Amino acid sequence: MKRNRIALVLALALVVGCPGVPPQTVAYRAIGSVAVTVDNAMKGWADYVHTMGRCAPIAPTPNCVTVAAENSVRSAFNAYKKGENAAHKAIDAYRAATTAPTGTPGVPNTSAMESAIAAVSAAASDLVGAISQQKGGKP
């Protein structure tokens, strides 16, 4: 299992960060892999809430999803979305600078884009952690 995890991380690192790949493509792959992960994690969480049901104020069913659990995931998603919006802006600024006609002001800011993607990856990790915690390890 541990070997599989290492292989997955190595594979991701290789695919995302191949030498010679333009920064814009690396950014697309990085943000895309994070977004696919988050999108499916949220769909999984929605399935879970639908299956287990929300706790009723009176006589809640066993294993129902509490308001606190939903708020925890909602809060983590909002933090992720804030990071994603920041990454979106940084990437748009980078793309605008790289596609601007010669002579127009604007320098592609690779480091700002990379920092924003690193931040959104961390927020995604927190979100996934929150979902796993609230599901109690159930897939």
How many CA atoms lie less than 13 Å away from 81 in the CB half-sphere? 8
Is residue 51 near other proteins by the rule CB under 8 A?
no
Q: Which stretch binds other proteins (CB under 8 A): 19-27, 100-108, 109-117?
A: 19-27
16 closest CA partner among 6, 31, 26: 26
Is residue 74 near other proteins by the rule CB under 8 A?
yes
Q: Is 126 exposed, middle or buried (0-12, 13-18, 19+ CB in 10 A)?
A: middle
CB of 56 to other proteins, least distance (A): 10
Give the C-alpha distances (Å, rounded to integers) separating 122 from 62, 87, 128. Answer: 33, 12, 10
Q: Is 72 exposed, middle or buried (0-12, 13-18, 19+ CB in 10 A)?
A: middle
CB of 15 to other proteins, least distance (A): 5
What's the CA gap between 119 and 3, in Å, rounded? 27
Q: Which stretch binds other proteins (CB under 8 A): 31-39, 101-109, 110-118?
A: 31-39
User: Total residues at the site for other proteins (CB under 8 A)?
Assistant: 47
Choice from 10, 36, 96, 107 touching other proteins (CB under 8 A): 36
Residues that bind other proteins (CB under 8 A): 4-5, 8-9, 12, 15, 22, 24-25, 28-29, 31-33, 35-46, 49, 54, 70, 73-74, 77-78, 80-81, 84, 88, 91, 95, 121, 124-125, 128-129, 131-132, 139
